[in-house]
Amino acid sequence: MEATIQKVTVVTDSIACLTRELVEQYGIEIVPLNFYAGGRLYKDWVDVTPSKAYELFLEDPESFKTSAPSPEDCLRAYRNASKRAENILCVTVSVHISTLHNVAQLAKELARTELSQASIEVLDSCTATAAEGLVALAAARAATEGNDLPEVVRIAKDIRDRVDCLVFLDTIRHVYRSGRIPKIASQVGSVLNIKPILSIAGTVRFHRTVRDRKHGMDCILQMMKDKVRDNTVHVAVMHAYALDEAQRLKERVSSEFRCAELWLTEFSPLMGYACGTGTVGIAFWAER
């Protein structure tokens, strides 16, 4: 049987929270984002594991800063992707959350001369975390099936329109860094032990607050049920330095939903910058 020739390679960024296994299985290129801890520059996905990054965060939260990748970082990913296929789809974190989408567009312009044979599309996922990862993953699966670039883009957009992300924060202390609330409000909320539930769709939105983790888990699962009903779902469970809690959440998802896929991953430290450790969440989309 003749092997399928892949016409498209998918590129995405490290905020997509894809596991190493999925990246290797589907040949996805990752653009690493940058963060600073203790005055030192790290490249997410390259220099340090998420767990180690969260340890650095806990040692000195105030020194933890983030920055977008350079156009050269994106161009390097395009170069690697072009070795496998002439057509490239780059799926980025929401333009309302990061400047990465604009950087990827600039790198596309720079690639016109160096990678003149490559056709590059840059797609705003309109989300972040593993919700972005699910969009990139659907595109990569379509690419491995031999689809051309327009069809891969169409499939990615279809999943983008269906994907959801719900996140439970163990603390509101660091949320002021997102620009959503003043620092003093974060500090007061932390003292009162307020734990917010957020969604990510284009931008980050507050839904409600709860007083403990159990109610937080019950709440995000009920919100997911209200959205997907009885349909088969594709799900990623995420955590920031809270593996045991994430494993328990994954078990609940497995028992309460009909899952076509279900995988566990760590939040990018770039998300932990505003969310803090102890954060857990679910990204999902439902089949029709």
Phi/psi at 242 (5° precision): -145, 55
pLDDT at 50: 84
Percent of the chain with pLDDT over 70: 89
| Amino acid occupying residue 262 | L
Look at residue 201 in the predicted model and tell me its pLDDT: 80
Question: What's the gap between Cα 37 and its chain centre?
Answer: 21
**What's residue 221's pLDDT?**
97
Please give the backbone phi and psi of residue 30, each rounded to the nearest 5 degrees, phi first. Answer: -110, 130
49 backbone dihedrals φ, ψ, rounded to 5°: -75, 155
Distance CA 245, CA 236 (A): 14
pLDDT tens by residue, the chain, 288 residues? 345 679 999 999 999 999 999 999 999 999 998 888 888 999 988 888 888 888 887 788 778 888 889 999 999 999 999 999 999 999 999 998 889 999 999 999 999 999 999 999 999 999 999 999 999 999 999 999 999 999 999 999 999 999 999 999 876 554 544 444 434 334 333 433 568 888 888 777 878 888 788 999 999 999 999 999 999 999 999 998 899 999 999 999 999 999 999 999 999 887 766 677 788 999 999 998
Q: Residue 128 gets which letter from DSSP?
A: -
List all residues 6 or more positions away from 1 whose beta carbon is below 8 Å from its beta carbon. none
DSSP state string for 41-74: EEEBTTTB-HHHHHHHHHH-GGG-EEEPPPHHHH
**What pLDDT, on the 0 to 100 scale, is given for residue 100?**
94
Q: How far is CA 18 from the centre of its chain?
A: 7
- Give 197's contacts (C-beta < 8 A, 6+ positions apart): 166, 167, 168, 169, 206, 207, 208, 209, 210, 216, 219, 220, 223
pLDDT at 119: 96
pLDDT of residue 45: 83
Q: Give all domains of the chain, ordered by start, each with its CATH number.
A: 8-33+68-160 (3.40.50.10440), 164-286 (3.30.1180.10)
Q: Are residues 160 and 112 in contact, defined by beta-carbon separation less than 8 angstroms?
A: no
Cα 201 to the center of its chain, rounded Å: 12
The structure tokens listed for 40 are 């030192």
Residue 245 has what pLDDT? 95
Q: What is the CA radius of gyration of the chain?
A: 19
Per-residue confidence (pLDDT) for residue 181, from 0 to 100? 46
Amino acid of residue 105: Q
Per-residue model confidence (pLDDT) at position 28: 98
CA 223 to the chain's CA centroid = 20
Q: Could you give the CA distance from residue 145 to residue 101 in angstroms, rounded to a whole number?
A: 26
User: How much is the pLDDT for 169?
Assistant: 87
Which residue shows structure tokens 């719900």?
A: 166
Q: CA 125 to CA 122: how far, in whole Å?
A: 9
Residue 22 falls in which region: left (phi positive, over 0), alpha (psi -120 to 50) or beta: alpha
